C-alpha cells in the first residue's frame, strides 16, 4: 500500500516499530546495527508525525509489529519478523527455516502470547534504578 505522505512505496522494506517501548527500541537498534540486504526504512510509529500506510491505524501499528514491502504487501506479527530476518545477514537462514518448515503458525502463537507481557517485561528489564 502507499503511505499517506508518499506517492509510491519506497524500495526495500519499511519497518514500523514502537519507539516508546524500551524493549522494542533495543531490539530495533540491534537490527539497525546489522548490515542489511537492500534498503530498510525504520519508522517510529510512536512519533505522531510519522506517516503510516493508509490501511494501518496508529493504534494497530503500536500494538503489533508491522513491515511492508515495496510491492505494497503488509505483514504483521511473526510473518513481519520473518520478513525482516530475510533481509538481515546472519538471520536469513532462520527465515528460510521458518518458511520451509512451516513454523509461522507456531511463531505467531508465541508472538500472540508475548504481546500481553511486553509492557511488564520492558518495565522489569529497563526500570530506572532507585
Q: Is 126 contained in some domain?
A: no
Is 7 domain-assigned? no
Report the C-alpha gap between 118 and 127 in whole angstroms. Answer: 13
Name the percent of the chain in helix, strand, coil, to the closest 5.
45, 15, 40
Domain annotation covers residue 55: yes
pTM of the model: 0.83
* Choice between 36 and 60, residue whose per-residue pLDDT is larger: 60
Task: Using pLDDT thresholds of 50, 70 and 90, give the confidence band for residue 103.
Answer: very high
Number of domains in the chain: 1
Q: Which domain holds residue 82?
A: 13-121
Assigned domain for 91 exists: yes
Does residue 77 form part of some domain? Answer: yes
φ, ψ of residue 68 in degrees (nearest 5) = -135, 145
* pLDDT of amino acid 3: 38
The tens digit of pLDDT for each residue in 22-47 reads 889 989 999 999 877 778 999 999 99
Amino acid at each position: 500500500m502507499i503511505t499517506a505522505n508518499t506517492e509510491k512505496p519506497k524500495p526495500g522494506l519499511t519497518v514500523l516499530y514502537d519507539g516508546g517501548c524500551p524493549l522494542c527500541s533495543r531490539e530495533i537498534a540491534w537490527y539497525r546495527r546489522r548490515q542489511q540486504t537492500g534498503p530498510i526504512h525504520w519508522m517510529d510509529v510512536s512519533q505522531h508525525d510519522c506517516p503510516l500506510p493508509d490501511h494501518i491505524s496508529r493504534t494497530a501499528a503500536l500494538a503489533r509489529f508491522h513491515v511492508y514491502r515495496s510491492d505494497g504487501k503488509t505483514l504483521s506479527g511473526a510473518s513481519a519478523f520473518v520478513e525482516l530476518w530475510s533481509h538481515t545477514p546472519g538471520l536469513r537462514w532462520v527465515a528460510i527455516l521458518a518458511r520451509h518448515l512451516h513454523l509461522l503458525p507456531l511463531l505467531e502463537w508465541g508472538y500472540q502470547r508475548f504481546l500481553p507481557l511486553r509492557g511488564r517485561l520492558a518495565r522489569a528489564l529497563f526500570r530506572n534504578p532507585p
